[in-house]
Amino acid sequence: METPRVMQEPASEGRKPTLSSRLAAELREAILDGDLKPGSKVNLDQLRRQYDVSLSPMREAVSRLVPDGLVKFEDQRGYTITPISVDDLREVTLLRADLETAALGHSIERAGVDWEGEALAALHRVTRLKRDASDRQSIRIWEEAHTKFHIALGAGCAMPHLLHMCEVLHNLNERYRRILDTSSQRAEGAAREHTEICQAAVDRDKTRAMSLLRTHITLTGTILAAEMETSARFQG
């Protein structure tokens, strides 16, 4: 893996991000990309040398990824990159289908025209961006837009806990998508599905929008699980 560069994370509300928050953002990308291998032990000393930082901010950065489900901590054993498995992927898919459709349904019932505009803007961005398998940065930019689109669909639900859980699950699913790299199988179909889901949502067709979203999430999960079950990388 090439020598990492700590990413400059945009500051929120005028506040400059801390070193630990920038490190956490970079580590998150390394985990989602599979550079930090699923199931591998986290060597804090090695990481702090790799990123040229002291131990304290590196430990804090790693600990920030525990609530996101990307890192596990056990007493006496320390930190481990959360393993991946077909069973875990299926659970993530099922939970995403349940929770994201619930958030979308509440948004359709409760949200106003501003929510519609934000959902359409997020759709426009994710549809216009292109993923280039040879360009990791383009993949990261697309994945960020893709996450924002899915979160935008449910953002009008006025339930911050539900939205947080949706975002955590979406990131867990994103790791499988990046590591398995099935984007070419879904590019055209996913773009069409995104458009259909968003149009049904802004038309306030709750039943159709929720059904389309559930089918979209389930289909992606099914393709990823099939790839994982047949890939030699995950056998034995």
Given a cut of 90, is residue 97 above it in pLDDT? yes
Q: What are 206's two structure tokens? A: 């709750």
Residue 49: the pLDDT is: 95
- What percentage of the chain reaches a pLDDT higher than 70? 89
pLDDT of 37-48, one tens digit each?
A: 999 999 999 999
How confident is the model at residue 132, as a pLDDT? 78
**Each residue of 127-148: b (16+ CB within 10 Å) or e?**
beeebeeeeeeebbbbbebbbb
> Is residue 5's pLDDT more than 60?
no
Which of 107, 87, 123, 85 minimizes the C-alpha distance to 234?
Answer: 85
Q: Going from the N-terminus, what domains does the chain have, and what CATH number goes with each? A: 19-81 (1.10.10.10), 86-234 (1.20.120.530)
Question: Are 201 and 209 contacting, i.e. CB atoms less than 8 angstroms apart?
Answer: yes
pLDDT digits (tens, 9 = 90+) for 180-190: 876 656 667 88
Q: What is the pTM of this model?
A: 0.86
Check residue 82 and give its pLDDT: 97
Estimate the share of the chain in helix, then strand, then coil, as percent rounded to the nearest 5. Answer: 70, 5, 25
| Amino acid 16: pLDDT | 63
Q: What is the pLDDT of residue 80?
A: 97
- Mean pLDDT for the chain overall: 89
- Two tokens at 87? 């069973």
Half-sphere exposure of 156 (CA within 13 A, CB side): 21
The residue ranking higher by pLDDT, 52 or 189, is 52
Q: What is the mean pLDDT of residues 113-134?
A: 92
- Distance CA(181)–CA(175), nearest Å, equals 10
Span 17-21, average pLDDT = 86
Instruction: For residue 200, count CB atoms less than 10 angstroms from its CB and return exposed for 0-12, middle for 13-18, buried for 19 or more.
Output: buried
Higher pLDDT, 182 or 176: 176
